[in-house]
Amino acid sequence: MKEAPDISPSWELASVSIGCYAGGERRFLTHQSEGAAVPTMEEQRVPISHLRVGVFIRLELPWFKHPFLLGSFKIKSPDQIRALKELGLSTVICIPEKSDQQPMAPSDLDAAEKDTGGGRSESDTSLQQALWNIKNERIVRLKAQRERLNRCEREFEQALTRVKDIITNVGMASREVVENADTVVKDMVGSLLSDTSVVVQLMNTKPGGEDIFYHSLNAVVLGLLLGRECGLDADALQKLGLGLIFHDIGKQRIPKKVLRKQTALTPPEMKLIQLHPKYGQEMIASRVPDFPPEAMTIVVGHHEALDGSGYPSGLAGEKIPLLVRLASIANVFDNHCNKLDPATSLTPSQALSFMFRKQAAQLDRSLMAVFIRCLGVYPPGTVVHLSNEGIGMVVGANPRNTLLPSILLYDPDIPRNEALIVDMEEEPDLTIVESIHPAKLDPQIFAYLSPRARVSYFPQLKGELGSVSR
């Protein structure tokens, strides 16, 4: 199991100076992590004719004007150099620090010219066409991926509306409300169990929504994904989801001014809030006597902790049922990511790291390991610095490899709604260098990536359309 990363370092881009190197331009990028500066990155402008295999380059063309899959890459073959020449470029940016080979010196050029045969040829044109064919396939897959994401967003909105209806009406027609909740969970469990290629996807959320609806749905989604990964059957997942929909229902009896208080709670206020699991149990038991007992243990027990420090009963260890331990992880994670004051929320990777390192005594460690596998070391919503010097935001987890999620790339030349989404499993040369705290982003990059003030997830089912990442 991969250990969760440290709390995110920051990343800042700053163009420090332009100089000259071997007749070309030199540019410097300064990377800063929290607390300490990391080595300065230097860029050089070099003539195309000086390139060779192993040189890492960055193109200064918009993505749709060149046939390469990424705008920054290490040259792998002479064909790529020929394709660069075909683009009509005279120079490209080279990043020596990321290169296996440095650009050629003038004395090497004659020999290289003989090797590549010089000028333009028919095969160069077909090479361009072959690269464009590959890229066009990528564009088609990207379009399908975007459509699937849009569908996922619509399903998320529908589920949110249903959860809102359930929670709003819980005080009135309780049996009907519980039946509705049962149906919502059944639909979700059915989808999850029918599609093995499901991935966790970051959702757009509208500002101003009531926290409890988002929180309840997110807890259900995360709990069910975790439960499925743990091998729970449909019946156990159903009870887990039902318990999670209603887990905070008792907060309806707590005054809003206490619930929404953003400063430290007084001891009496704290005691009052800690009554919500019992209130929830009473509310449901009085109206729906046959509410499944396993789901009720979640309502009353989701704040219990393995070390006995939780409430209301201070249960410890094995006395806390498995479903409650699962529910607790989903609940704690969402609470870390979505605090009353968003400025104090943890990023998803910070939340995982905090839970794994600081709450190890309270949470089930083996279940936490599974949870990290579900969300990835860099969970959706995490902004990352990539090995090709790009910056992006993780939008989808990859359960097959926690280090290779799908990433929405920052590219000022591509409109935000058409942003390139890269499946890292398809890009063996691309790795995540570090996570970046959104507060440290350049405002232009922040606006483009728009890291969510609220982190909400929903399962994206790939089975119906087949995987587009192949």
Select the residue whose beta carbon is closest to Fe ion and give its number.
248
For residue 40, the SS3 value is coil
With respect to Fe ion, which residue has the nearer C-beta, 248 or 334?
Answer: 248
Q: Quick check: 453 and 346 in contact, CB under 8 A?
A: no
Among residues 301 and 390, whose Cβ is nearest to Fe ion? 301
Which residues of the chain form contacts with Fe ion (CB under 5 A)?
248
- Give yes or no for a contact between 54 and 100, defined as CB atoms under 8 angstroms apart: yes
What is the distance between the alpha carbons of residues 275 and 267, in angstroms, rounded to a whole number?
A: 13
Query: Which two tokens mark 53?
Result: 């295999």
**Nearest distance in Å: CB 248, Fe ion:** 4
Residue 367 Cβ, how far from Fe ion at the closest point, in Å?
A: 18
- Of the pair 4, 298, the CB lying nearest Fe ion is at 298
Nearest Cα residue to 382 out of 409, 411, 350, 414: 350
Which residue lies nearer to Fe ion by CB, 248 or 434?
Answer: 248
Minimum CB distance to Fe ion, residue 418 (Å): 40
Closer residue to Fe ion, CB minimum distance, 48 or 212:
212
Shortest separation between residue 212's beta carbon and Fe ion, angstroms: 10
Rounded to a whole number of angstroms, the minimum distance from the CB of residue 252 to Fe ion is 12
Question: What is the smallest separation between the CB atom of 372 and Fe ion, expressed in angstroms?
Answer: 22
Spell out the residues 6+ positions from residue 147 whose beta carbon is closer than 8 angstroms to its own.
Answer: none
CB 440 within 8 A of CB 413: no
Q: Which is nearer to Fe ion, 346 or 468 (CB)?
A: 346
Nearest distance from C-beta of residue 302 to Fe ion, angstroms: 6
Closest to Fe ion by CB, 155 vs 248, is 248
Q: CB 273 → Fe ion: shortest distance, Å?
A: 8
Distance (Å) of CA 300 to CA 205, 260, 280, 376: 29, 21, 7, 29
Q: Say how far apart CA 391 and CA 378 lie, in whole Å.
A: 14
Element of type H or E holding 422: strand 421-423
Kindly state the smallest distance separating residue 250's Cβ from Fe ion, in Å: 8
Residue 67 or 310 having the CB closest to Fe ion: 310
Q: What are the strands of the beta sheet with 56-58, ordered from one edge?
A: 15-21, 24-29, 41-47, 91-94, 56-58, 72-74
The rounded distance, in Å, linking the Cα atoms of 98 and 110 is 26
Q: Are the CB atoms for 272 and 279 separated by under 8 Å?
A: no
> Is the Cβ of residue 44 or residue 331 nearer to Fe ion in the bound state?
331
Cβ-Cβ contacts under 8 Å for 148 (sequence gap 6 or more) = 460, 462, 465, 468
Q: Is the peptide bond before 312 cis (omega within 30 degrees of 0)?
A: yes
In angstroms and rounded to an integer, the radius of gyration of the C-alpha atoms of the chain is: 26
Cβ atoms within 10 Å, residue 271: 11
